[in-house]
Structure 1
Amino acid sequence: MSKKHIGSSFDAFLEEEGIRDAAHAHAIKRVVAWQIEEAMKMQSVSKVEMAKRMKTSRAQLDRLLDPENDKVQLDTLQRAAAAVGKKLRLEIV
């Protein structure tokens, strides 16, 4: 093939389908859940201990760590980050 790129970009495809914003939000949630899980692993923090640190239930923590569940409140994310010695940083660009 002589052409380096064929067709539109993936972002353009998502935009055409009307799902760009939803896909972006879902991707962000997956990354945040993964980062929290990785921090827990690095510090050998169990889910039970993490829930205690966050002053929440194990079920709530499971919802937070579920990459498919994008209905997580900002204060929950902040508590999770603090529980593993991190800060949540949001930015509007």
Structure 2
Amino acid sequence: MSDFLDHGRELGEFEAVAVKETLAGQIAEAMKAQNISRRCLAERMKTSRSQISRLLDPKDGNVTIATLQRAARMVGRTLRVELV
């Protein structure tokens, strides 16, 4: 049973990293397409460049949905979260 639970936790963590990698990549692509620097995005979001670096780091999973929504808005996108 413990092995099963550990496997489920590992799978969940893997999925979370994959979602974060996808979102970080999409935000970075939108920034590049619009010629928005990290500094500029930080100013738009009224936050620090280090926070933007954490946001764009696919391995840093400590980003809130609210932060992702704000970043998406600042690059002209909408974040959609749904359960399937």
Alignment TM-score > 0.5, same fold: yes
CA RMSD of aligned residues (A): 1.4
**How much identity, in percent, do the aligned residues show?**
49
Q: How many residues are aligned here?
A: 79
1:48-78 per-residue CA deviation (whole Å, 9 max, x = no partner) reads: 1011111111010000001110110111101
Q: Structure 1 CA distance, aligned partners of 2:17 and 2:52? A: 18
Match runs of 1:13-92 below 5 Å: 17-18=7-8, 19-92=10-83
Q: Which has the larger radius of gyration?
A: 1
Higher helix share: 2
Stretches of structure 2 that go unaligned for 5 or more consecutive residues are none
1:6-65 per-residue CA deviation (whole Å, 9 max, x = no partner) reads: xxxxxxxxx883311110011000000000000000000011101111111101000000
Higher relative contact order (CA 8 A, sep 6+): 2
